[in-house]
Amino acid sequence: MVDHGSRDGTFADQVRASPGGDKLTYCFSCGTCTATCPINWVEENYNPRRIIRLVMLGMKEQVLSDPVIWLCSACDICYRRCPQDIRISDVMKAIRDVAIQEGYEPTRAIAKVNERACAGCGMCIQACPYEAIELTSTWVTIQQTMRQRRAVPKVNKFLCQGCGICTATCPVSAISLTEVSDDTIVAQIRAFAEETGK
Amino acid sequence: MVDAARHPKVDVRTYTEVERVEGFVGNFKILLREKSRYVHADRCNGCGECAQVCPIEVPNYFDMHLAPRKAAYVPMSQSVPLIYNIDMDACIHCYKCVEACGKLEAIDFSIEDNLVWEDIGSVVVATGYDHFDPSVIPEYGYGRFPNVITAMEMERLNNSAGPTAGELIRPSDGASPKRLAIINCVGSRDKRFNPWCSNFCCMYAIKNAILLKQAHPDTNISIYYMDIRTPSKGYEEFYDRAREMGIRFIQGRPSLITEDPDTRNLFVHSENMDLGRTIELEYDMVMLNQAAVPQPDVDTVSSVLNISQSPGGWFMEYHPKLRPMDSPTDGIFLAGACQGVKDIPASVAQGSAAASRAGRVLHADEWEIEPTVAYVWEDRCVSAQDKKCGVCAKACPYNAIEVVQGQAAKVITAKCHGCGGCVAECPHNAITQLHFTDAQILAQIHALLGEKPEEKILAFRCHWCSYGGADLAGTSHFEYSSNERGLRMMCSARMDSDFIYEAFRLGAGAVLYSGCHEQDCHYITGQPVGARRADRLLKTFDKMGMTAGRFRIAWISAAEGDKYARVINEMQETLDSIPKQQLLEEIELLRPQMEKRARRMREVPQVEAAIEYADQLKVAVTEREVQ
């Protein structure tokens, strides 16, 4: 049972005060976003309408610790169909911002740079739609006894949405997603090819 | 309708448009365009021979374009009067209809539109509403998928006088649908299109579902809804009956409709809120319950009749609660959905009310209006001196002032509601308001600021709201500063800048400029006129270097007695925070500027005399007290 003690009355205000969260209270729970969401097709626990309801109810711990809040890929199909003109991706981002402030870590796949393989060309920086990558000068261990100062891209784990555009762009395959590496995908394609016999 | 047409005292003019309306309550003159039907109304007996021989077929608008009609047609079978009409856009001039008509000689291609002026006493506007076109919502596929139909199309398909004689069929293959989905709130409660709730569609969906279920008990009907709204008498019971009959209600707004290209069946994607899961169900046919929207030509109608519109395009009523059937223009009344979406019982009630209001005008030999109307001093009006002005006409929310260059502005007394906006706006002080003349108000200001003006808070209040607010503060025993001195005017639009300058010239400690909230204004757009002026004054005083808070603007409703008391107390605090010597110095410093600005007010007739009288009275009272 949800009783008074399990709620945090300030949570909804906290989300509304974060950039993008101001339209949270417009939601009248029609369910269009949930029915639209392509992520909901594969992960039924991701229900944006329900997450907004929980935020409004003040279920802070339950919302922020739930890995599904990191799933929204900001495709904005729901925004185009929302009758209350709420940009749900912005609301999700506001919820994530609160989560980060409160010390919760993102649980989704993010891009990871293999510093030794990176040539420092910067193509990933241009490719990233979320401006999550920037070039930094770091000491890179090339061999056990050799370190070199190089310009290497650094991924901001809070901004990265895990879309994988950078991995596909990188000419030397030096950047990959933490949970879906190139090797995993190649292995999946091989397995599929073997099974279908082609 | 037929009864009305037969009534000896009712003159029904169909296929006629109102082109112009002139005059005022009880004395309107309207210009009517009786559109040509190309048929002599007195000769046509409605036999329909012309339609039978007509070779041209066009989609029938009355059947929502589901069936054809001829170019010689009657709009619908119950048309009043039952006279055939030639559709000139479609006609190929084969003249077969003329032959078929024969000796009656009713059809005449040379008939032109007839323009007639009529004298009328009052007008009831009942132009109704239109349907939202759902083809602009791409996810519902209306227009792309043949089996997605609108509520009106369903109405025609399910009507025994309709194109299918009441047989419900799918447009794609003519089969009888066994699974039907009704989707509510298509285009309404949707900020992308229309933010309002269309009021009757919930009941309409339930009605259609019940009718279909009665006619075809094996049909599986689902209604997709966000909220079911059944607030009137017997409505909730009707909703109960639908559920008892086995109609399925699914809470969740569909996000997408897809089609199987082979069977033309439809898949509705939505969330089922009770399960918290997304569902995809298959249907033979989908009905979209569209929003009600204003008629496409509301702008023309409002400019012809000079009635204003509320947000969204519905005609504006005089008062949303107390006078919902009156338009702000006297003698013009509103009935039905043109004023705002409403269902049949509400439309009938409003129609009857509007008719009786209109009848009251017709039976009156004299029409009583508020006596506080505006009056023009013709010799002072610059328009009479052939100069371009017209400021008063712009300020008038009722179009009651006519300005022709070369002649003095003319107030049509019957149209004037007495807000006084024109009086305050006139840059040459050429208009006054009876019972609220400049002389009377200035005399009051002089009397109120007679003694120790630097301690006084002069409060300008509007009759309808802030005066009521002050009254409520009194009757509720809310304590507020006794230094407040109140002055009543009909509207904040009447609060002339000159009054404020004069008050400060006399050394008033503080001045409150108060009135209704914008949406509560009793004179349509009176408050905005006042608000603009108050903002200008605030800036002027700021530039002059007046201490902030000595001139204050507050919009206070008649229910906000506590706010009135609070505002006055806050102003008293501001006054108390300024050291007395500093305040007196500031008043002296600003006096020449105030004098300069308020100077022209003295030119107004009667003002000097009234002020002199007020000052003498003050002296007399003081002397008596001394004795």
Among all chains, which residue has been given the structure tokens 């997605």?
A: B148
| Record: contact B254-A35, CB cut-off 8 A | yes
Domain that holds residue B530: 437-626
Do B445 and B486 form a contact (C-beta atoms < 8 A)? no
The two beta strands, B129-131 and B292-294, are: antiparallel
Structure tokens at A49: 């309408």
Structure tokens at B270: 């939505």
Task: Tell me, yes or no, whether B190 lies in a domain.
Answer: yes
Structure tokens at A64: 């922020």
Q: Which residues of B touch A (CB under 8 A)?
A: 139, 185, 189-192, 226-227, 251-256, 269-273, 276-278
Residues B430 and B561 in one domain: no
Nearest CA to CA, how far is A12 from chain B (Å)?
Answer: 21
The domain tally of chain B equals: 3
Nearest to A49 among B254, B256, B271 (CB): B271
Per-residue confidence band for A120, with pLDDT thresholds at 50, 70 and 90: confident
B252: chain A residues, CB-CB within 8 Å: 30-31, 35
Residues of chain B short of pLDDT 50, as ranges, are: none
- Interface with chain B: mutation pick from A23, A27, A30, A52, highest number of B CBs within 10 Å: A30
The CA-atom distances, in angstroms, between A16 and each of A13, A90, A91, A93, A112 are 5, 11, 8, 11, 31
Do B132 and B194 form a contact (C-beta atoms < 8 A)? yes
Which residues, 6+ apart, have CB-to-CB distance to B336 below 8 Å? B126, B128, B342, B347, B350, B351
Residues B478 and B617 in one domain: yes
Do B429 and B391 form a contact (C-beta atoms < 8 A)? no
Nearest to B270 among A31, A41, A50 (CB): A31
Q: Looking at the complex, does the CB of residue A33 fall below 8 Å from at least one CB of chain B? A: yes
Nearest to B253 among A32, A47, A50 (CB): A32
| Residues B39, B44, B49: CA angle, nearest 5 degrees | 95
Do B448 and B464 form a contact (C-beta atoms < 8 A)? no
Which residues, 6+ apart, have CB-to-CB distance to B303 below 8 Å? none
Q: Which residue segments constitute the domains of chain A, with CATH numbers given?
A: 4-101 (1.10.1060.10), 111-196 (3.30.70.20)
Helices (H) and strands (E) counted in chain A, each on its own, are 10, 4
Do B316 and B309 form a contact (C-beta atoms < 8 A)? yes
Alpha-carbon distance of A109 to A162, in angstroms, equals 5
When pLDDT is averaged across residues A119-128 and rounded to a whole number, the result is 88
Do A174 and A119 form a contact (C-beta atoms < 8 A)? yes
Residues B550 and B593 in one domain: yes
Give backbone dihedrals phi and psi of B294, rounded to 5 degrees, phi first.
-65, 155
CATH number at B171 reads 3.50.50.60
Among B416, B435, B454, the domain boundary falls at B435
**Is pLDDT above 80 for A181?**
no
Among all chains, which residue has been given the structure tokens 């300024």?
A: B578
The residues pairing with B489 across neighbouring beta strands, listed in sequence order, are B462
Q: Identify the helix (H) or strand (E) that includes residue B198.
A: none
| Residues B586, B590, B594: CA angle, nearest 5 degrees | 145
| Record: contact B191-A85, CB cut-off 8 A | yes
Per-residue confidence band for A177, with pLDDT thresholds at 50, 70 and 90: confident
Alpha-carbon distance of A139 to B593, in angstroms, equals 73
Residues B414 and B450 in one domain: no
Task: Tell me, yes or no, whether B41 lies in a domain.
Answer: no
Among all chains, which residue has been given the structure tokens 């009275």?
A: B617
Task: Tell me, yes or no, whether B104 lies in a domain.
Answer: no
**Is pLDDT above 80 for A197?**
no
Q: Residue B89: its pLDDT value, please?
A: 93
Spatial CA neighbour of B536 closest among B548, B521, B519, B553: B553
The CA-atom distances, in angstroms, between B536 and each of B430, B496, B539, B574, B600 are 21, 12, 5, 21, 18
Do B422 and B395 form a contact (C-beta atoms < 8 A)? yes
The residues pairing with B45 across neighbouring beta strands, listed in sequence order, are none
Q: In what order do the strands lie in the sheet with B256-259?
A: B256-259, B266-272, B277-283
Among B248, B275, B293, the domain boundary falls at B293
Alpha-carbon distance of A52 to A63, in angstroms, equals 9
Question: Where would I find the H helices in B276-426?
Answer: 298-305, 344-363, 391-395, 421-425
Residues B480 and B564 in one domain: yes
Structure tokens at B133: 């076109």
Structure tokens at A21: 């969260």
| Record: contact A28-B226, CB cut-off 8 A | yes
Residues B520 and B557 in one domain: yes
Q: State the helix-helix crossing angle for B561-577 and B466-475, rounded to 10 degrees.
A: 90
Residues B469 and B574 in one domain: yes
CATH number at B373 reads 3.30.70.20
Alpha-carbon distance of B418 to A175, in angstroms, equals 76
Do B49 and B105 form a contact (C-beta atoms < 8 A)? no
Task: Tell me, yes or no, whether B334 lies in a domain.
Answer: no
DSSP letter at B317? Answer: P
DSSP letter at A172? Answer: T
The CA-atom distances, in angstroms, between B193 and each of A85, B139, B258 are 11, 14, 22
Write the Ramachandran bin of B143: left for phi over 0, alpha for psi from -120 to 50, otherwise beta.
left
- Over the range B527-551, which residues count as b (16 or more CB within 10 Å of their CB) and which as e? bebbbebbeebbebbeeeebeeebb
- Interface with chain A: mutation pick from B250, B267, B271, highest number of A CBs within 10 Å: B271
| Record: contact A32-B269, CB cut-off 8 A | no
If you count residue pairs, one on A and one on B, with CB atoms under 8 Å apart, how many are there?
57
Alpha-carbon distance of A127 to A124, in angstroms, equals 5
Structure tokens at A17: 């005060």
B270: chain A residues, CB-CB within 8 Å: 31-32, 35
| Record: contact A30-B191, CB cut-off 8 A | no
When pLDDT is averaged across residues A103-110 and rounded to a whole number, the result is 81
Which residues, 6+ apart, have CB-to-CB distance to B583 below 8 Å? B454, B509, B547, B575
- Which residue does chain B place closest to A28, by CA atoms? B226
B582-611 pLDDT, tens per residue?
A: 999 999 999 999 999 988 888 888 888 888
Task: Tell me, yes or no, whether B548 lies in a domain.
Answer: yes
Question: First-to-last CA distance in chain B?
Answer: 80
Q: Residue A48: its pLDDT value, please?
A: 95
Residues B423 and B455 in one domain: no
Q: State the helix-helix crossing angle for B438-448 and B497-505, rounded to 10 degrees.
A: 30
**Is pLDDT above 70 for A198?**
no
Do B187 and B137 form a contact (C-beta atoms < 8 A)? yes
| Record: contact A84-B226, CB cut-off 8 A | no
Among B435, B459, B478, the domain boundary falls at B435
Residues B418 and B447 in one domain: no
A32: chain B residues, CB-CB within 8 Å: 253-255, 270-271
* Helix, coil or strand: residue B353: helix
- Which residue does chain A place closest to B140, by CA atoms? A81
Nearest to A31 among B191, B252, B256 (CB): B252
Task: Tell me, yes or no, whether B504 lies in a domain.
Answer: yes
Among all chains, which residue has been given the structure tokens 């599929």?
A: A192
Nearest CA to CA, how far is B553 from chain A (Å)?
Answer: 30
The complex scores an ipTM of 0.75
Residues B593 and B502 in one domain: yes
* Helix, coil or strand: residue B392: helix
Task: Tell me, yes or no, whether B154 lies in a domain.
Answer: yes
Residues B453 and B380 in one domain: no
Residues B475 and B562 in one domain: yes
Question: Where would I find the H helices in B181-295?
Answer: 201-215, 235-244
Spatial CA neighbour of B121 closest among B357, B287, B343, B308: B357
| Record: contact B271-A35, CB cut-off 8 A | yes
Task: Tell me, yes or no, whether B9 lies in a domain.
Answer: no
**Is pLDDT above 70 for A94?**
yes
Question: First-to-last CA distance in chain A?
Answer: 54
B357-413 pLDDT, tens per residue?
A: 999 999 998 888 889 999 999 989 999 898 899 999 999 988 899 999 889 999 999
What mean pLDDT value characterizes chain A?
Answer: 87
Spatial CA neighbour of A59 closest among A11, A107, A96: A11
A30: chain B residues, CB-CB within 8 Å: 226, 252-253
| Record: contact A83-B271, CB cut-off 8 A | no
* Helix, coil or strand: residue B573: helix
Q: Residue B618: its pLDDT value, please?
A: 79
Residue type, B222: S
Spatial CA neighbour of B223 closest among B197, B193, B243, B237: B243
Q: Looking at the complex, does the CB of residue A81 fall below 8 Å from at least one CB of chain B? A: yes
Q: Residue B56: its pLDDT value, please?
A: 94
